[in-house]
């Protein structure tokens, strides 16, 4: 766990409609010390406003994977992690 003054660099990957809505497929970003879980990351990204606020609003269906494993809202996010954001997939 990092200390309260240290930011963490995470690698974000946006898939499907999120890639199109955000206008970027991926980015490396420094997150503040309070962003240590998937839920905190979602809230922090939504605070960017615009498409971010719309697509990541509470109740919007978005899945997260941390280092290629599906992640619950309370899953930890740490320095160097890859976090993918994508809409749920349905089959038929």
User: Taking the model in full, what pTM does it have?
Assistant: 0.90
The predicted pLDDT at position 92 comes to 56
> Given the DSSP bridges, would you call strands 82-86 and 63-66 parallel, antiparallel or unpaired?
antiparallel
Residue 77 located in a structural domain: no
Rounded Cα–Cα distance for residues 24 and 75 (Å): 24
**Domains contained in the chain, number:** 1
State which residues form the domain around 34: 1-7+15-71
Residues facing 8 on adjacent strands: 31
Residue 83 located in a structural domain: no
pLDDT in tens, 9-50: 999 999 999 999 999 999 999 999 999 999 999 999 999 999
């Amino acid at each position: 766990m990092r200390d309260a003054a240290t930011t963490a660099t995470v690698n974000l990957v946006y898939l499907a409609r999120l890639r199109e809505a955000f206008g970027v497929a991926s980015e490396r970003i420094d997150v503040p010390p309070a962003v240590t879980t998937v839920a905190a990351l979602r809230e922090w990204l939504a605070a960017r406003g615009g498409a971010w606020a719309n697509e990541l609003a509470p109740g919007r269906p978005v899945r997260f994977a941390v280092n290629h494993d599906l992640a619950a809202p309370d899953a930890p996010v740490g320095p160097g992690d890859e976090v993918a954001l994508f809409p749920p997939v349905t089959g038929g």
